[in-house]
Chain A
Amino acid sequence: MATETMAAEKRAKRPIRWHVGVFLAPAVLVYTAFMILPLFGTLQLSLFRNIEQSQVFVGLGNFRTLFGDPNWSVNFWNALRNNLWFFIIHMLVQNPIGILLAALLSSPRLRFTAFYRTAIFVPTILSFVIVGFAWKLILSPIWGVAPHLMDLVGLKSFFTPWLGKEQYALTALSLVSVWQFVGIPMMLIYAALLSIPDEVIEAAECDGITGLAQFWKIKLPLILPSIGIISILTFVGNFNAFDLIYTAQGALAGPNYSTDILGTFLYRAFFGFQLQVGDPNMGAAIATIMFLIILAGVCVYLFLVQTRLRRYQF
């Protein structure tokens, strides 16, 4: 009885916890000012149109133009298709290679792991401008080392100016991007592999599961949540990509728009290019669609994939 009343008193007297708000405030304020407000600003901008120097509310008019007017829709679908291909290459090449590298690095018999780890991760911290420029030079048919190196091993006949050919340019650039970012899945998976407790591995070994079978049956299921995270990071990163294409191919994403992704399409629409005058409203409409695509992708992951991933408790 006495304890109950004491507890009730305590509950009633519990002070308002100001410190929670105080500690949250900086992050919330900064995030709101630089992320949430601009986001809503963009959404708002996409509903207006500049008619004779004044902003007029047009509802979904800009989106109707974007999807209905062939001058916009052809470019939009082309950019979306290219973006999808860009993403597929990353999923099929970057992430499996990242997992493979992580598995190799976590092997206890491998020497110089720290060196390999660093070497593979370094391109990730390089600027896009450097990566784009360096690869443009490497692949240059005139001064590049690629044709020369391929000549040394007798593969010269397979060399073509990849960045200048419609059918190869996007794939070549995707692979450059894979080269740059393969360190990220590698690091995440590497960390996940290291966190698998030795008891689990030892138990597997007692049951006679070793080598490759151990990787497929024991380790891979345990790192699935990390792979899920990597996939979603890749998705968001790829659909926001812009820099590499812009530095390597320019804003017109040549040849013949074959490397045009949503980011470059947005850039041309929003800021304009050469004689093309920028149209912030159409740009905002494209940005909104990009936001919705990414939002949809993340939702699919959160509600359909992540809830089904089994959590292992150690």
Chain B
Amino acid sequence: MKTKLLTALLLGTSILGTTGMALADDVTLNIESWRGDDLTIWKDKLIPAFEAKNPGIKVVFAPSAPTEYDAALGAKLTAGSAGDLITCRPFDKSLELFKKGNLADLTSLPGMENFSPVAKSAWQTDDGKSSFCVPMASVIHGFIYNKDAFDKLGLKVPTTRDEFFAVLDKIKADGTYIPMAMGTKDLWEAATMGYQNIGPNYWKGEDGRAALIKGDQKLTDKDWVAPYEELAKWKPYLGDGFEAQTYPDSQNLFTLGRAAIYPAGSWEIGLFNTQAQFKMGAFPPPVEKAGDTCYISDHTDIGMGLNAASKHSEEAKKFLSWVASPDFATIYANALPGFFSLNSSPVKMEDPLAQEFVSWRGKCKSTIRSTYQILSRGTPNLENETWVESANVINGTDTPEAAAKKLRTGLDSWYKPAK
């Protein structure tokens, strides 16, 4: 079955590829991607914009199914039939391709200077010396709230943790709305929308993350246990039977207007805009005291690299430089609200909710999810364990200390930080 699909895919792309070449004498660049959803955006907006400025270069966007992407790409790279441009998954999967020599070094690509070190971190070698993909987009964590509900109950958007819990208490006392729409059934909600959402404020974003990788901090340190202590306090504010509430359940509870606050990732914006019948707003994870520096999870999610075996690497580099430019960022971020450009130059976006999310970059410090770089390479896998333990903490089956201890023991068993 799998191989059949694979051959079908390979056949399909090879036909696409040949028709593309037959069209013109121009150079044709093929883009490998798993984002089939973005096909129309590429075809109607991004590629025409590039081709208008660069006559002689044709670009074909050829996505494959997300679950097949890594396997199909691997097979094509080995066979030498992969496209010139390769959409990069963050961290280890792309790093592996770079180490195998499939991805070209892009450290000196014009346009790379448009990105901050955090933005580039997902596609760099561990020492940060070489970059191999142009960062395209990130997703930001925070809380989306039902503005109508807040107005009705006379609530103010919370900025500190005390205010946050006061708001939750008021919603709960009123009883019309479920205070917070989140479930623990799918596990990752608890970890991604919970722990990684509020955590950076405790471990001070990049500082804590770097210290953890260096080995200066441990997962049982106060800064890493405290987010679990806050998560444990969320339990009474979640809906009835949240233990069996799945991710789509949470989305529906919120968009149907039954819940007031939704711990979110910005990728929800597109869906929520079409489904919710009420006004929405967003706020970043509350800080301890008013005036504290805030930290947000601005997680690098998608990038683009150059196939080292490409026959048209000059043209492909031209394209990548364009991907690194503000022009691309503006089109991309507006076509896909919630997937934010990582470009340092600010991008003007139309969507108010997306604007709100991205405005936090100005006042807060950005970081990425703590478990993604380096720390999830071994067994037990830290990211998976974080899912399980975050759900346990909210369910009340593990104390924050016990959860942190399990994570630390698991990580220590294989991870020896370089001294």
Which residues of A approach B to under 8 Å, CB–CB?
70-72, 136, 139-143, 147, 160-166, 249-250, 252, 254-257, 268, 273-277, 279
Complex alpha-carbon distance, A139 and B371, angstroms: 33
Inter-chain contact A255/B243, CB cutoff 8 Å: yes
Are A164's CB and B384's CB within 8 A? no
Q: Are A72 and B185 in contact (CB under 8 A)?
A: no
B41 CB, nearest partner CB in chain A, Å: 26
Q: Whole-angstrom distance from the CB of B118 to the nearest CB of chain A?
A: 19
Pull 18 A–B residue pairs with CB atoms less than 8 Å apart, ordered by A.
Answer: A72-B379, A142-B240, A142-B245, A163-B243, A164-B183, A164-B241, A164-B244, A165-B243, A165-B244, A254-B387, A255-B184, A255-B185, A255-B388, A255-B391, A256-B388, A268-B384, A274-B387, A276-B384
For A71, list chain B residues within 8 Å (CB).
379-380, 410, 413-414
| Closest A residue, CB atoms, query B413 | A71
Q: Is B187 part of the binding interface, using a Cβ–Cβ cutoff of 8 Å?
A: yes
Beyond A136-B246, A140-B244, whether A257 also contacts B388 by CB under 8 A is: yes
Judge if B68 is at the interface, Cβ distance under 8 Å.
Answer: no
**Bound state CA distance, A274 and B243, in angstroms?**
22
A161 engages B243 (CB within 8 Å)? yes
Indicate if B186 sits at the interface (CB-CB under 8 A): yes
Are the C-beta atoms of B242 and A161 separated by less than 8 Å?
yes
Once A164-B184, A255-B184, A275-B92 are accepted as A-B contacts, the answer to whether A142 and B413 lie under 8 Å apart by CB is: no
Say whether, besides A255-B392, A255-B395, A275-B92, A142 and B241 are in contact (CB < 8 Å): yes
B397 touches A277 (CB 8 A): no
CB–CB A256/B391 < 8 A? yes
Chain B residue nearest to A249 (CB atoms) is: B185
Q: With A164-B244, A255-B184 as known contacts, state yes or no: A275 contacts B372, CB within 8 Å.
A: yes
Of B242, B244, B397, most buried by chain A (CB within 10 Å of CB) is B244
Bound-state CA distance A275–B380 (Å) is 11
Interface band, chain B? 35 or more
Nearest CB of chain B from residue A270's CB, rounded to whole Å: 13
Specify which of A140, A162, A166, A252 is in contact with B249 (CB 8 Å cutoff): A140
- B296 → chain A, closest Cβ, in Å? 21
Question: Please, how many angstroms separate the alpha-carbon atoms of A136 and B239 in the complex?
Answer: 17
A276: which B residues are within 8 A, CB to CB? 376, 379, 381, 383-384
Please give me the residue from chain B that is nearest to A276 by CB atom.
B381
Residues B384 and A275 in contact, CB atoms below 8 Å apart: yes
> What's the minimum C-beta distance from B183 to chain A, rounded to whole angstroms?
8
Contact A273 B244 (CB under 8 A): no
Residues of chain A contacted by B187 (CB below 8 angstroms) = 250, 252, 254-255
B253 at the interface (CB under 8 A from A): yes
A163 near B391 with CB under 8 A, answer: no
Q: How far is the CA of A273 from the CA of B240 in the complex (A)?
A: 29
Bound state CA distance, A142 and B239, in angstroms? 9
Within 8 A of A (CB), among B39-97: 91-92
Is B377 part of the contact surface with A, judged by Cβ < 8 Å?
yes
Residues from chain A with Cβ under 8 Å of B376 in the complex: 275-276
The distance from the CB of B329 to the nearest CB of chain A, in whole angstroms, is: 27
- Closest A residue by C-beta to B380: A71
A254 touches B185 (CB 8 A): yes
Report yes or no: A252 in contact with B184, Cβ–Cβ below 8 A: no
CA of A277 to CA of B95, assembled, Å:
13
What is the bound-complex CA distance between A136 and B371, given in angstroms?
A: 30
Q: Report the minimum CB–CB distance from B407 to chain A (whole Å).
A: 13
Chain B residues near A274 (CB, 8 Å)? 188, 381, 383-384, 387
- Which single member of A163, A273, A275 contacts B185 (CB below 8 Å)? A163
* Neighbouring B residues of A160 by C-beta, 8 Å: 241
Provide the residues of chain A in CB contact with B388, threshold 8 Å: 252, 254-257
Q: Which residues of B contact A255 (CB under 8 A)?
A: 184-185, 187, 243, 388, 391-392, 395, 397
Q: Are A161 and B241 in contact (CB under 8 A)?
A: yes
Q: Which residues of B contact A257 (CB under 8 A)?
A: 388
A71-B413, A142-B241, A164-B242 are contacts. A252–B384 as well, Cβ < 8 Å? yes
Q: How far is the CA of A173 from the CA of B242 in the complex (A)?
A: 18
B230 CB to closest chain A CB (Å) equals 20
Q: Give, as a whole number of angstroms, the nearest-CB distance from A44 to chain B.
A: 20
What is the CA–CA distance of A162 and B376 in the complex, to the nearest angstrom? 31
CB distance from A219 to the nearest CB of B (A): 42
Question: What is the CB-to-nearest-CB distance from A168 to chain B, in angstroms, rounded to a whole number?
Answer: 10
Interface string of B231-260 (1 = CB under 8 A from A): 000000001111111100100010000000
Q: State A229–B88 Cα separation when bound (angstroms).
A: 52
Q: Which residues of A contact B382 (CB under 8 A)?
A: 275
Given A161-B242, A161-B244, A255-B391, 18 new contacts (CB under 8 A)? A70-B413, A140-B241, A140-B246, A141-B239, A142-B239, A142-B241, A161-B241, A162-B244, A164-B242, A164-B243, A250-B187, A252-B384, A252-B387, A254-B388, A256-B392, A274-B387, A275-B372, A275-B381
Q: Which residues of B contact A252 (CB under 8 A)?
A: 187, 384, 387-388
Which residue from chain A places its CB closest to the CB of B239 in the assembled complex? A142
Do the beta carbons of A141 and B245 come within 8 Å of each other? Answer: yes
- How far in angstroms is the closest Cβ of chain B from A41? 15
A277 touches B239 (CB 8 A): no
Whether the Cβ atoms of B371 and A275 lie closer than 8 Å is yes
Min CB–CB distance B361 → chain A (angstroms): 25
